[in-house]
Chains A and B, each alone.
Chain A
């Protein structure tokens, strides 16, 4: 059973991971787009001032320049808010980075609605969809600060080409340890279960675990899988879960179109079509509010996940009951 260690923003995990990469690899460089402390690139900047390059508020240029650094033998981290790295600069990411298959690592900060009071303009809710359709791109969406550190390191040590690392602003439960190995492309079975599987990504993994623990009391045995790599996705763990539990609930802080839910559906429709309920943003923009208020309003809490699981489990029992 996973327990809460502390509340910690996942962006700090990114900053720590980047700094430790800096210590290990002299060719790692970082490019900043003015918001260096809010995306935690400042950890690296302070440790390695000569390997940090300021590009101002110019996201298209930062992505192109990162491609240039990579051509010059560096491993550049180009980091800004997910809304900008995935959307403002998409063409540069597509052509200069992905078509050239360069080892540019892109940080997508302020992911999800939990950005809070900044409102819809700054809440990245489409970045997974954009990034995962680009050939050569690896998409990482770690579940807490500790795992974000590991994912950041893995983006260099395990990925030769471009990678997108998604992380958030607010302090969220930090519950994994560095002993939990991070393998790009491998889903993590965090809790066994045979009735229903929740497949989650990002900090909704914690919510999924809480839902599963609550449901134990109601004798619903829920499996929880953390998909920290959206692409390449771990097809085996998803197919196995669908065969063994029959029902799938997906949970993500992202639009339900194009995100984790879609990625899981793409896998299952080929191999073992089962019913999937998708929890995420329902084709809508966010708004201002406290993170916890927004998670509540848009149905992204453990309570909402549990409700969906109960609903699905009832349907399953009704279907199994002989008439």
Chain B
């Protein structure tokens, strides 16, 4: 059951999530701001609309499984979990601190509800999603597996081993999403290691490729619905996003991949978020 179909409401949640991402990372003093802001609209749509889940029953058997392969965007993941009801958003301010359930990269053993997989070493999540989807099919489960990837992550060879196996096993219960923001730590993907032509690559690996504007809530939801309805095999959504989305002064600047705002920047960034919503 979606928590809401109201686009204005979803936009409000996205704004709240972005504000938390800025505050939490400034408090933590380290972490990845760019991708977390860039994925805020997608995570909002997932946790408030797409996913079949029960935040008060994190182990509910019929839940959809979300595998976050790019653990470094943990701040947006945690904020989405908190705001959708998995835990009190006040806890978000413990991000990356000693003893916190909110590890720098998601770590299940610390007890935060809603984490399916401890992850953060790039290139592993798609393999795990493949195994999980196969287990689900074996037992004729109705849940789907949703995996989230970065575009830079596609440079990992293991992604393509997994992509090959997903179509070999005809996994029509697996929807991967690529955060297509064209940048990574060292700069543009095309300068670091070209990954295009992505559509051709995935299609030649036997995947259905869809794309959407990763900041347009209705488009994200409609694309996910289309992906879920595709029953011939695995689907990948190329979601075009802007790293740092919402804070105009940092948008698309790759230098913001892996750093937090300074405490004195928080107010200005939040003001920008409010103006740009």
- List residues of chain A with CB under 8 Å of any chain B CB: 29, 50-51, 53-56, 58, 60-74, 76, 91-92, 94-96, 99-101
Whether A71 pairs with B118 at a CB distance below 8 angstroms is no
Indicate which residue in B65, B123, B128, B139 contacts A67 across the interface (CB closer than 8 Å). Answer: B128
Whether A60 pairs with B161 at a CB distance below 8 angstroms is yes
Indicate which residue in B124, B133, B136 contacts A96 across the interface (CB closer than 8 Å). Answer: B124
Whether B135 pairs with A64 at a CB distance below 8 angstroms is no
Q: How far is the CA of A56 from the CA of B168 in the complex (A)?
A: 10
Q: How far is the CA of A258 from the CA of B219 in the complex (A)?
A: 54
Shortest A93–chain B CB gap in Å is 10
Whether B107 sits at the interface, judged by CB under 8 Å, is: yes
Indicate which residue in A51, A54, A64, A94 contacts B131 across the interface (CB closer than 8 Å). Answer: A64
Indicate which residue in A55, A58, A73 contacts B135 across the interface (CB closer than 8 Å). Answer: A73
Whether B131 pairs with A99 at a CB distance below 8 angstroms is no
Contact with A along B127-170 (1 / 0, CB 8 A): 11111111110110000000000000000011001101100110
Whether B121 pairs with A91 at a CB distance below 8 angstroms is yes
Q: How far is the CA of A100 from the CA of B67 in the complex (A)?
A: 13
Whether B119 sits at the interface, judged by CB under 8 Å, is: yes
Q: How far is the CA of A53 from the CA of B161 in the complex (A)?
A: 15
- List residues of chain B with CB under 8 Å of any chain A CB: 65, 67, 107-109, 116-121, 123-136, 138-139, 157-158, 161-162, 164-165, 168-169
Whether B164 pairs with A100 at a CB distance below 8 angstroms is no
Whether A65 pairs with B157 at a CB distance below 8 angstroms is no
Secondary structure at chain B's binding surface: helix, strand, loop or mixed? helix
Shortest A82–chain B CB gap in Å is 20
Given contacts A53-B169, A61-B162, contact A72 B118 (CB under 8 A): no
Cβ contacts A to B, 30 pairs, < 8 Å: A29-B138, A50-B138, A53-B134, A55-B165, A56-B168, A60-B158, A60-B161, A61-B127, A64-B125, A64-B162, A65-B130, A65-B131, A66-B131, A67-B127, A68-B67, A68-B127, A68-B134, A71-B65, A71-B135, A72-B132, A72-B134, A72-B136, A74-B135, A94-B121, A95-B124, A96-B124, A96-B127, A96-B128, A99-B107, A100-B117
Chain B residues with CB under 8 Å of A76's CB are 131
Q: How far is the CA of A69 from the CA of B128 in the complex (A)?
A: 8
Shortest A17–chain B CB gap in Å is 22
Chain B residues with CB under 8 Å of A92's CB are 124, 127, 158
Shortest B212–chain A CB gap in Å is 26
Whether A56 pairs with B128 at a CB distance below 8 angstroms is no
Q: How far is the CA of A53 from the CA of B171 in the complex (A)?
A: 13
Q: How far is the CA of A75 from the CA of B182 in the complex (A)?
A: 39
Q: How far is the CA of A54 from the CA of B67 in the complex (A)?
A: 22
Q: Which residue of B lies closest to A99 (CB)?
A: B118
Indicate which residue in B108, B109, B121, B133 contacts A68 across the interface (CB closer than 8 Å). Answer: B133
Centre residue among A64, A68, A71, A72 by max chain B CB count within 10 A: A68
Chain B residues with CB under 8 Å of A61's CB are 127, 130, 158, 161-162, 164-165
Whether B109 pairs with A101 at a CB distance below 8 angstroms is yes
Instruction: Give the 6 A-B CB pairs with smallest separation, nearest first.
Output: A68-B131, A64-B127, A72-B135, A65-B131, A61-B161, A68-B132
Q: How far is the CA of A69 from the CA of B165 in the complex (A)?
A: 14
Q: Known A-B contacts: A71-B65, A94-B121. Give 17 more (CB < 8 A).
A: A54-B168, A56-B164, A61-B130, A61-B165, A62-B127, A63-B127, A64-B126, A64-B131, A65-B127, A67-B131, A68-B67, A68-B135, A69-B134, A71-B135, A72-B134, A74-B135, A95-B118
Q: How far is the CA of A56 from the CA of B130 in the complex (A)?
A: 14
Q: Which residue of B lies closest to A67 (CB)?
A: B128
Q: How far is the CA of A227 from the CA of B139 in the complex (A)?
A: 39
Whether B128 pairs with A64 at a CB distance below 8 angstroms is yes
Indicate which residue in B108, B118, B132 contacts A69 across the interface (CB closer than 8 Å). Answer: B132
Chain B residues with CB under 8 Å of A50's CB are 138
Shortest A135–chain B CB gap in Å is 10
Chain A residues with CB under 8 Å of B136's CB are 72
Q: How far is the CA of A72 from the CA of B130 in the complex (A)?
A: 11
Shortest B207–chain A CB gap in Å is 15
Q: How far is the CA of A100 from the CA of B136 in the complex (A)?
A: 19
Centre residue among B65, B128, B129, B132 by max chain A CB count within 10 A: B128
Centre residue among A29, A60, A61, A73 by max chain B CB count within 10 A: A61
Chain A residues with CB under 8 Å of B67's CB are 68
Q: How far is the CA of A68 from the CA of B132 in the complex (A)?
A: 4
Q: Which residue of A lies closest to B120 (CB)?
A: A95
Indicate which residue in B117, B139, B158 contacts A71 across the interface (CB closer than 8 Å). Answer: B117
Q: Which residue of A lies closest to B157 (CB)?
A: A60
Q: How far is the CA of A35 from the CA of B138 in the complex (A)?
A: 23
Shortest B6–chain A CB gap in Å is 33
Shortest B29–chain A CB gap in Å is 24
